[in-house]
Chains A and B, each alone.
Chain A
Amino acid sequence: MFGLNKKDTSLLLVVAVLTLFAPFILNPFPTESGLAQFNAGYPDLMQRFVIFGIFAVGFNILFGLTGYLSFGHAAFLGVGSYSAVWMFKLLSMNVIPAIILSVIVAGLFALLIGFVSLRRSGIYFSILTLAFAQMSFNLAYSVLTPITNGETGLQLTLDDPRILGVSATADGSIPVTSLFGLEMRSTYEMAVAGWNFQFSAGYYLCAIIMLVSFYIAVRIFRSPFGLMLRAVKCNQNRMRYTGLNTRPYTLAAFVISGMYAGLAGGLMASMDPLAGAERMQWTASGEVVLMTILGGAGTLIGPVLGAGFIKYFENIFSKINDNVLHQWFGFLPDGIEDFVVFIIHPFIGKGWHLTLGILFMLVVIYLPGGLVEGGQRISRLFKKNKSSDDGAAAKTTPAE
Chain B
Amino acid sequence: MDAILLQILNGLDKGSAYALIALGLTLIFGTLGVVNFAHGALFMIGAFCAVTLQRILNLSYEEIDPTQTDFLGNPLVVKVPYVQAWFGPEMGGSIIDWSVPLAILFAIPVMIFVGFAMERGLIKHFYKRPHADQILVTFGLAIVLQEVVKYFYGANPIPTGAPEAFRGSFDFGVLLGFDPNAIIYPYWRLIYFAFAAVIIGGVFSFLQFTTFGMVVRAGMADRETVGLLGINIDKRFTFMFGLAAAVAGLAGVMYAPINSPNYHMGMDFLVLSFVVVVVGGMGSLPGAVAAGFLLGILESFASMNEIKSIIPGIDQIIIYVVAIIILLTRPRGLMGRKGVMED
Contacts and interface: CB of A to CB of B under 8 A. Distances in A.
Q: Are any A and B Cβ atoms less than 8 Å apart in their complex? A: yes
A303 interface: no
A119 B139 CA distance: 24
Interface string A196-220: 0000000000000000000000000
Contact of A354 (B137, B147, B328): B147
B343 interface: yes
Interface string B89-120: 00000000000000000000000000000000
A365 B137 contact: yes
Contacts of A365: 122, 125, 137
Interface residues of A, number: 40
Interface in A123-177: 123-124, 126-128, 130-132, 134-135, 138-139, 141-144
B246 interface: no
Given A353-B143, A361-B141, A128 B327 contact: yes
B76 interface: no
A375 interface: no
Given A67-B132, A131-B320, A283-B267, A356 B143 contact: yes
B324 A116 contact: yes
B83 interface: no
B316 A143 contact: yes
Given A122-B343, A130-B271, A357-B147, A135 B317 contact: yes
Given A122-B341, A354-B151, A131 B316 contact: no
B303 to A, nearest CB: 11
Given A116-B328, A364-B137, A358 B144 contact: yes
B159 interface: no
Contacts of A121: 343
In this complex, which of B135, B147, B148 has the most chain A Cβ atoms within 10 angstroms of its Cβ? B147
A126 B275 CA distance: 11
A361 B144 contact: yes
Contact of A120 (B137, B313, B331): B331
A129 to B, nearest CB: 11
Contacts of A282: 271
Contacts of A361: 122, 137, 140-141, 144
B316 A141 contact: yes
B314 to A, nearest CB: 9
B137 A143 contact: no
B81 to A, nearest CB: 29
Contacts of A354: 143-144, 147-148, 151
Interface string A95-123: 00000000000000000000010011111
B131 A368 contact: no
A257 B303 CA distance: 35
A43 to B, nearest CB: 29
Interface residues of B, number: 38
A120 B340 CA distance: 13
A50 B90 CA distance: 64
A69 interface: yes
A350 to B, nearest CB: 8
Contacts of A346: 148, 151
A361 B139 CA distance: 8
Nearest to A68: B132
B274 interface: yes
A132 B327 CA distance: 12
Interface in B270-308: 271, 274-275, 278, 282
A138 B140 CA distance: 24
A124 B274 contact: no
Task: Report which residue of B140, B143, B324 has the largest number of chain A beta carbons within 10 angstroms of its beta carbon.
Answer: B140
Contacts of B12: none
Nearest to B278: A127
B312 interface: yes
A120 B131 CA distance: 14
B190 to A, nearest CB: 28
A304 interface: no
Contact of A357 (B143, B327, B328): B143
Contacts of A142: 312-313, 316
A244 to B, nearest CB: 16
Given A120-B327, A122-B343, A135-B321, A293 B316 contact: no
A65 interface: no
Contact of A123 (B131, B313, B317): B131
A130 B35 CA distance: 15
B136 interface: yes
Nearest to B267: A283
Contacts of B275: 127, 131
A181 B137 CA distance: 47
Interface in A245-274: none
B274 A130 contact: yes
B323 interface: yes
Contacts of A364: 133, 136-137, 140
A173 to B, nearest CB: 35
Interface in B250-283: 267, 271, 274-275, 278, 282
11 contacts: A116-B324, A120-B328, A121-B343, A123-B35, A131-B324, A132-B324, A135-B320, A142-B316, A293-B136, A354-B147, A361-B137
4 closest A-B pairs by CB = A143-B313, A357-B143, A354-B147, A138-B316
Interface of A: 67, 69, 116, 119-124, 126-128, 130-132, 134-135, 138-139, 141-144, 282-283, 286, 289, 293, 346, 351, 353-354, 356-358, 360-361, 364-365, 368
Given A131-B271, A357-B140, 9 more contacts: A69-B136, A119-B328, A124-B341, A126-B135, A143-B313, A286-B143, A346-B151, A357-B147, A361-B141
